[in-house]
């Protein structure tokens, strides 16, 4: 089974609207974390937001929020008030716990290409 | 704002040649990683490095690959004898302390093997 599944290869949203990018994950670890990265056409990977499995509140960073539903194993990214500059590929990723330590590898999904339109 | 830097931004090499990709992680970070992304595909983990040794590596990271932290700032990935299928974007990343999980990526090195 895929550890990270992103079922939307492409999404369109109008400027100033909110958009939700889906991510589901599969792990048997109790300690894990979910990440979202943005990859513009220039190729760099920009860290957006992180949610730990034990965090009680959903993570937020500016216009980005992570809708974490542990029982459903989903970690959807919500972008509010979309801007043209949000057009990019978005990757969901997961680290799985190994009893502590920051050096956990990330497993990535296949990404969602978001296009923001006027 | 501190950032991860990588050099060169683009490297072209012939099959069978050795290449060294260089990274300068964020200065107070303790964990370092290499990932790669073949064009149009997802990002794949290669190796993680902590306390001057490899802490985990993937199946991709075979004997042709090695990593080194030669001084207090640089972190390098060496591919001994490049193959056509090594053509990819290679990302270096770093993360902070024991419970600081956010991994910050460098801008990448695009490796083209001809």
Average pLDDT value for residue range A48-76: 96
Residue of A nearest to B3 (CA): A46
Residues of B in contact with A107 (CB under 8 A): 45
- Interface check for B34 against chain A (CB to CB < 8 A): the answer is no
In 3D, which of B96, B114, B103 has the Cα closest to residue B43?
B103
Q: B92 to chain A, minimum CA–CA distance in Å?
A: 10
Residue of A nearest to B49 (CA): A103
| Residue contact A50–B107, C-beta within 8 A | no
Residues of A in contact with B110 (CB under 8 A): 43
- Interface check for A54 against chain B (CB to CB < 8 A): the answer is no
Length of chain B counted residue by residue: 114
How high is the pLDDT of residue B93?
96
Whether A47 contacts A35, CB under 8 Å:
yes
How high is the pLDDT of residue A53?
93
Report the residue from B43, B50, B99 with minimal CB separation from A108. B43
Q: What is the mean pLDDT of chain A?
A: 93
Kindly give, in sequence order, each residue whose CB lies less than 8 Å from that of residue A62, ignoring residues fewer than 6 positions away.
none
- Interface check for B43 against chain A (CB to CB < 8 A): the answer is yes
- Interface check for B107 against chain A (CB to CB < 8 A): the answer is yes
Q: Phi and psi at residue B111, in whole multiples of 5°?
A: -100, 125
Is residue A96 scored above 90 in pLDDT?
no
How high is the pLDDT of residue B98?
66
Average the pLDDT over each of A16-30, A52-66, B79-93, B96-110 and give the range with the smallest value.
B96-110
Residues of B in contact with A36 (CB under 8 A): none
- Which of A32, A105, A111, A113 has the highest number of chain B CBs within 10 A, making it the mutation to test binding with B? A105
Measured CA to CA, the distance from residue B77 to residue B69 in angstroms comes to: 9
Measured CA to CA, the distance from residue B114 to residue B111 in angstroms comes to: 10
Is residue A44 scored above 90 in pLDDT?
yes
Average pLDDT value for residue range B5-31: 96
Q: Phi and psi at residue B81, in whole multiples of 5°?
A: -140, 95
pLDDT in tens, B24-66: 999 889 999 999 999 989 999 999 999 899 999 999 999 999 9
Average pLDDT value for residue range A42-49: 94
pLDDT in tens, B75-97: 999 999 999 999 999 999 999 86
Q: B99 to chain A, minimum CA–CA distance in Å?
A: 5
Is residue A102 scored above 70 in pLDDT?
no
Report the percentage of chain A scoring pLDDT > 70: 93
Report the percentage of chain A scoring pLDDT > 90: 86
How high is the pLDDT of residue A104?
85
How high is the pLDDT of residue B70?
87
How high is the pLDDT of residue A56?
87
Is residue B23 scored above 90 in pLDDT?
yes
Alpha carbons within 13 angstroms on the beta-carbon side of residue A70 total: 14
How high is the pLDDT of residue A101?
54
| Residue contact A93–B99, C-beta within 8 A | no
């Amino acid at each position: 089974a895929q550890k990270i599944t992103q079922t939307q290869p492409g999404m369109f949203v109008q400027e100033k609207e909110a958009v939700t990018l889906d991510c589901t994950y599969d792990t048997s670890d109790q300690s894990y974390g979910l990440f979202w990265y943005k990859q513009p056409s220039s190729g760099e990977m920009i860290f957006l937001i992180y949610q730990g499995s034990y965090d009680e509140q959903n993570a937020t960073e500016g216009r980005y929020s992570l809708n974490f539903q542990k029982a459903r194993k989903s970690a959807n990214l919500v972008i509010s008030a979309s801007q043209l500059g949000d057009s990019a590929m978005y990757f969901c990723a997961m680290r799985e716990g190994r009893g502590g330590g920051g050096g956990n590898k990330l497993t990535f999904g296949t990404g969602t290409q978001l296009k923001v339109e006027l | 704002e501190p950032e991860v830097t990588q050099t060169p931004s683009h490297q072209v090499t012939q099959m069978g040649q050795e290449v060294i990709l260089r990274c300068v992680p964020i200065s107070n970070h303790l964990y370092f990683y290499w990932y790669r992304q073949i064009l149009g595909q997802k990002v794949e983990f290669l190796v993680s490095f902590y306390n001057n040794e490899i802490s985990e590596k993937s199946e991709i990271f075979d004997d042709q690959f090695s990593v080194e932290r030669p001084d207090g700032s640089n972190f390098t990935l060496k591919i001994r004898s490049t193959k056509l299928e090594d053509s990819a974007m290679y990302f270096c990343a770093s993360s902070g302390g024991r419970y600081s999980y956010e991994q910050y990526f460098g801008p990448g090195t695009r490796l083209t093997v001809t």
